[in-house]
Structure 1
Amino acid sequence: MTSVLSRAVHRQPARAMTRALVAVACLATLGGCSLFSKENKHPPAELKPVSGTLSVRQAWKADVGKSGPYSMQPAAAGNNVYVSSNNGNVMALEGASGRVLWKSKADLDLTSGPGSDGSVTAVAGEKGAIYAFDASGKQIWKKQVNGEVLSAPLVGNGLVVVRTTDTRVFGLDAETGERRWIYQRSQTPLNLRAAMGMVFAGDGIVMGFPGGKLGVLTPGNGVLRWESAVSYPKGVSEIERLNDVTGLPMVSGRQVCATTFQGRVACLELASGQPQWGKDFSSPSGPAQDDNAIYASDEQSVVHAFDRQNGNERWKNNDLRNRRLGAPLALGRSVVMGDFEGYVHFLSREDGQVIARMKTDGSAITAAPVVAGQTLVIQTRDGDVYGFQPG
């Protein structure tokens, strides 16, 4: 119902009935629809003709398997792309051609996309199972973290970093899977049941947390280096106070930027977490960035560009309203994002106009596009993986 994984909510099991009722209400709120009426009060915008100033061609297509109820975020490492499916498939594809380099199968259904540094590829499965594969696709270990994992593992610096929906973060040895450290924080009463990205930045791991917080962990021991608020909860009810960081934090130079649901878009100093600027904003899917701007769609799928230095709005595009846009990517002279009908939209970074559009299999695109070598890679909910090459 939204561009980020199902947008359900997570609560303590002891309050199951309340959780179910709140989840229904939250889904209705976040999806911008009514669950109790056949009338669509927020119809998706009809697509307008494209100016055609950007040439894009489909270079290849592959099939990995359906995502099921999860958001299977592809991962790029060098010239290759790594993809997974709900039914346990894990694949490495050559970015230029889509050729299958290797394919493996986990013994449980998967709940996350893969993370990879090109040497080790890790993915999460049901009941907190974590699988790791080597550069040939051979499974090298399987470990349990005893918690639901929706976010793709972060792989690099000899680590596989895994986060559970109950706010624990595990640092596992990339070669053996043995636990090096664990970071745990107190839970908020209600949080979005969605994938929350992590990224290496310098000698830290940057990640968002429920409650509108952004923080940096030390890779060697998992100690929290700093934590800062991107936004603060507002309102009276728990649903009104939902305020989680969405998507992947964007790091560039000495700056890190992030969006929250029902909160703000903001940039902070990477070294200390000191806020630089913030604007009221609500994004269900997270941001993208380039040297000049931060790009994100709001709850109505209106796309905005904010100046990275001061947060001033550079432009916004209403043409894709209510099309449930997925996470964006800044690529070349465009900002790329998919929608609920499987269209891939290319917006000009200069003025936000749609300059190209490609059609996939018709199923939703919720995961962010990635770039492998010179190829833009898109994965749909029905499991088709596309390689596009913009001109």
Structure 2
Amino acid sequence: MNLLKRFAVPAACAMTVLVMTACSSTKDERRIPTPLANFKPALNVERAWKTSVGSGGRYLFAPVAVGDAIYAAGKSGSVEKIDGKSGQQIWRAKLDTDLTAGVGSDGKFTAVGGTRGGVYALDADGKLLWKSNVPGEIITPPLVGNGYVVVRTIDGQISAFNAETGELKWVYRNRAVPLNLRVTAGMTFAGDAAVLAGFPGGGLAAINLKTGDEYWQAPVSYPKGVTEVERINDVTGAPILVGAQACAVTFQGQIGCFDANSGRPVWEKPFSSASGVTQDGTLVAASDDWSVVSAFNATDGKQLWRNEKLKSRDLGVPLLLGPSIVVGDFEGYVHFLSRDDGTFVARVKTDGSPITAAPVMAGDTLVVQTHDGELYGFRPH
């Protein structure tokens, strides 16, 4: 999926999510994907299993891992729990609606988002527990845990429900912006006290999980430019929390890490990404608008290396995994880069459709979900 297809564009060009350059007849030669170069693998990646949950359509679906189990969903209403070791289906639910986001789970409760703001919660056996609605489109997977199902709409409004009963507990509204990216903007629990979330406009906030009140909000970056498109400055992906440090990145802004208790910046660097960030406490990594992958020291933000050999390949959200950084691209390749210097150490092929969501780990199995709804389990060694 081309980065520029992820924009919500002005009505003068179109009313839906289209390529920004559709308003122009000139093709940007810089966006031609870089051909993949051969290399000698230094890491063996074995495909353990493959299964399907259904295509994502025009939506972006991401799997979630809870222990050794994988929870995944597709546009047609299928929600599945899968054994991460074998790839075998544990249960499957078929909801009577199209889905627009999924899936969130803590193993006890599982939630997905449907059309017209529908929120659906399933129990531990995959049975529908309750249904509710929020006033807006849901394209970000719900956050489930600590007795809550937390849902956000595309305009940044966050609603928290009692996971067992579906009772609405609170609503958090962030300031609206004229134009924002049509990308998933995940949320992260900070223990059992807060939800960390980034917003259109560049803000990162810690929200009291019990009341919905704001502990703090800090700017990851500020909007710049003259036109509304130039001023798009959204936090993309989910904030990544390790210890007391939360890291985030914005489109047309900055990448940085913050003290999760106060919102105080630890370090910030100019950067722009429409996918998201990953960190493990010592390293922070992200791919920029051109799919150039960069790694930073998690303590002080010093740039350690850049890999430009995947330029314009529309990389998804990366995952730091031991000695590697794992990221999918628009042709369904999964790339493994050395965390030490960014060189390629392995590459595997899936079904040829884009991989936008971050890979996840279920036990010792690396799981990726493609846009066409295929789930692959890999074991690196």
Cα distance between partner residues in 1 of 2:169 and 2:380: 42
Q: How far 1:51 sits from its partner (Å)? A: 2.3
Q: How far 1:21 sits from its partner (Å)? A: 7.1
Q: Which residue in 1 is equivalent to 2:20?
A: 28
Cα distance between partner residues in 2 of 1:186 and 1:249: 19
Q: Which residue in 1 is equivalent to 2:194?
A: 204
**Is it true that 1:275 corresponds to 2:265 in the alignment?**
yes
2:174·2:199 contact (CA, 8 Å) conserved in 1? no
Compared CA separation, residues 23 and 67, structure 1 to 2 (3 A): closer
Equivalent positions of 1:182-221 (< 5 A) are 182-202=171-191, 203-221=193-211
2:63·2:102 contact (CA, 8 Å) conserved in 1? yes
Q: Which residue in 1 is equivalent to 2:45?
A: 56
* Alignment match of 1:250 (pick from 223, 240, 247): 240
* Alignment match of 2:351 (pick from 353, 361, 374): 361
Q: Which residue in 2 is equivalent to 1:2?
A: 2
Equivalent positions of 1:133-152 (< 5 A) are 133-152=122-141
Cα distance between partner residues in 2 of 1:271 and 1:265: 19
Q: Which residue in 2 is equivalent to 1:377?
A: 367
Letter in 2 for 1:2: N
Equivalent positions of 1:34-183 (< 5 A) are 36-37=25-26, 40-183=29-172
**Is it true that 1:17 corresponds to 2:11 in the alignment?**
yes
Cα distance between partner residues in 2 of 1:135 and 1:22: 37
Letter in 1 for 2:11: M
Q: Which residue in 2 is equivalent to 1:305?
A: 295
Q: How far 1:39 sits from its partner (Å)? A: 7.0
Cα distance between partner residues in 1 of 2:270 and 2:61: 29
Cα distance between partner residues in 2 of 1:208 and 1:229: 9
Q: How far 1:231 sits from its partner (Å)? A: 0.4
Task: Show structure 2 runs of 5+ residues with no match.
Answer: none
2:3·2:289 contact (CA, 8 Å) conserved in 1? no
Aligned-residue identity in percent: 49
Q: Deviations over 1:190-248 (max 9, x none)?
A: 11122100010122110101101000111101111100000011111110000000111
**Is it true that 1:339 corresponds to 2:329 in the alignment?**
yes
Cα distance between partner residues in 1 of 2:24 and 2:125: 46
Q: How far 1:108 sits from its partner (Å)? A: 1.0
Q: Deviations over 1:332-388 (max 9, x none)?
A: 110000000000000000000010000000011011101111110000001110000
Cα distance between partner residues in 1 of 2:323 and 2:363: 17
2:98·2:114 contact (CA, 8 Å) conserved in 1? yes
2:329·2:355 contact (CA, 8 Å) conserved in 1? yes
- The SS at the match of 2:93 is strand
1:2·1:284 contact (CA, 8 Å) conserved in 2? no
- The SS at the match of 2:379 is strand
Letter in 1 for 2:124: A
Letter in 1 for 2:294: H
Cα distance between partner residues in 1 of 2:344 and 2:23: 29
Q: How far 1:40 sits from its partner (Å)? A: 4.5
- The SS at the match of 1:66 is coil
Cα distance between partner residues in 2 of 1:122 and 1:273: 29
Q: Deviations over 1:143-174 (max 9, x none)?
A: 11121001000000000000011221111010
2:202·2:219 contact (CA, 8 Å) conserved in 1? yes
2:7·2:20 contact (CA, 8 Å) conserved in 1? no
Backbone CA RMSD of aligned residues: 1.8
Equivalent positions of 1:231-242 (< 5 A) are 231-242=221-232
- The SS at the match of 2:11 is helix
2:13·2:23 contact (CA, 8 Å) conserved in 1? no
- The SS at the match of 1:127 is helix
Q: How far 1:61 sits from its partner (Å)? A: 0.2
Task: Show structure 1 runs of 5+ residues with no match.
Answer: 11-15
Compared CA separation, residues 364 and 34, structure 1 to 2 (3 A): farther
Q: How far 1:19 sits from its partner (Å)? A: 7.4
Cα distance between partner residues in 1 of 2:16 and 2:153: 21
Number of matched pairs: 380
Q: Deviations over 1:34-74 (max 9, x none)?
A: 86346754211111112211011000000110010111011
TM-score of the pair, normalised by structure 2: 0.96
**Is it true that 1:262 corresponds to 2:252 in the alignment?**
yes
Q: Which residue in 2 is equivalent to 1:319?
A: 309
Q: Which residue in 1 is equivalent to 2:216?
A: 226
Compared CA separation, residues 365 and 22, structure 1 to 2 (3 A): closer
